[in-house]
Amino acid sequence: MRTVGPWSGTSTSRPAPARRRARGGPNAAGDGSAGSLRRATVAPPRQGRLGTPWATTSRRVATRHGRSPPMHERRSHPEDTSACRAVVVAAPAKVNLHLEVLRARADGYHEIETILQTVSLCDEVRVELRDRGAGGPPRISLSVEPFGAAPESPLNLVWRAAELFCRTCGLGGDLGLKLTKRIPTEAGLGGGSSDAAAVLVACNRLYGTGLSLERLEELGAELGSDVPFFIRGGTQVARGRGTDLQALPAITKGKFLIVKPDIALRTSDVYAGLNMGLTLRSPKVNIRTVEALIARFPTGSWFGANRLEDVVLPTQPALQRLVQSLRENATVALMCGSGSAVFAVYGDERRRELARQEAVQPGWYAWDVDPWPGGARVRDDTDRE
């Protein structure tokens, strides 16, 4: 995976953007709070160290290349109930290959229909069980790299995920969490939700509880609308408020490009801008049609659109120009969720390279990524008991 960005890995730390709430709900967990659409005053967190399959680096001009994890690399299996003392989990980003908002719900969320795909831009979550204890509330500590990229407190969704898991399973102990951020915030890439899913997967392995993927998804739904998807990952249709998942044939090909402009958008603001009232839209995803399109992906046509572009693009001319630029010669190019990141998929490397050169401006980030074949995935566990 290649990254292009304006800051090197040795640049000084910058303040992190504010977190926003999970999509569409008044009490949903997520990455921030309500406010107006605004320009970013800070940059996405710089990239992590080299040496892991999902690590990236960024330099002002030159770039370096890493390898995406192989398709056969193992992920967390609920049936593996042998406990260990530390687990490292890769938490992938996602893109929306299609996103329709069907209606506003009485509970404050929105009914949606979206096609989600995990990609190989990943945060890293390390969870260490220092002491099992004798029950009671867990003792949790959290460190975040780079410093300031996310709260080191119960405001962080990873902290709340650990608390929820232990409370649900009646477990305690001393848990040390370390979060290495590579997925930018306020981008629509789902980094906070993916990190929370990674903690649930890690705790399931650490404590040897053997919860099924379905049970982990239920816990994830208590934390945020996107969290269940990141438990399962891959290529999925998500309905309801985003928690009702249906698997699609896996997308394994395509030259994906993600571009993050120096613009920050809050999910709650974008959904509020829809002003749907009593509007009711019809679902557009026909499973058989989508399966046929995936079989030819990325060389054929694609039907997807993102309804939230109707809110964002008229207010963000630079973002609108970016989307239009990336759509030239792309199979699909859409805003990621509520933005401000935009992705495009090309049939070959030459077209992706040309698109990057023409679209990316100084101060913006760009990632060459691949489809990621699952959700949050255990990379390493140590000191197995």
Region 93-98 average pLDDT: 98
Structure tokens at 77: 């299996």
Q: For residue 190, give the nearest of 92, 258, 124, 44 by alpha carbon.
A: 92
What is the band of 183 on the pLDDT scale with cuts at 50, 70, 90?
very high
Which is more confidently placed, 126 or 279?
Answer: 126
Q: Which residue range(s) make up the domain with 109?
A: 2-382
pLDDT (0 to 100) of residue 4:
58
The 3-class SS string of 230-265 reads: HHHCCEEEEEECCCEEEECCCCCCCEEEEEECCEEC
DSSP string, 81-133: ----SEEEEEEEEEEEEEEEEEEE-TTS-EEEEEEEEEEEEEEEEEEEEEE-B
Phi/psi for 272 (5° steps) reads -60, -30
Residue found under tokens 């993927």: 213
pTM higher than 0.85: no
pLDDT (0 to 100) of residue 28:
37
Which pLDDT tens digit goes with each residue over 319-371? 999 999 999 999 999 999 999 999 999 999 999 999 999 999 999 999 999 99
Split into its structural domains, the chain has a count of 1
pLDDT (0 to 100) of residue 148:
85
The CATH number of whichever domain residue 223 belongs to comes to 3.30.230.10
Q: For residue 245, give the nearest of 296, 297, 287 by alpha carbon.
A: 287
Region 294-315 average pLDDT: 94
Per the CB < 8 A criterion, the answer to whether 374 and 233 are in contact is: yes
CA torsion through residues 220, 223, 229, 232, sign = negative
What is the band of 109 on the pLDDT scale with cuts at 50, 70, 90?
confident
Catalytic residue ranges = 94, 226
CA distance 267 to 187: 9
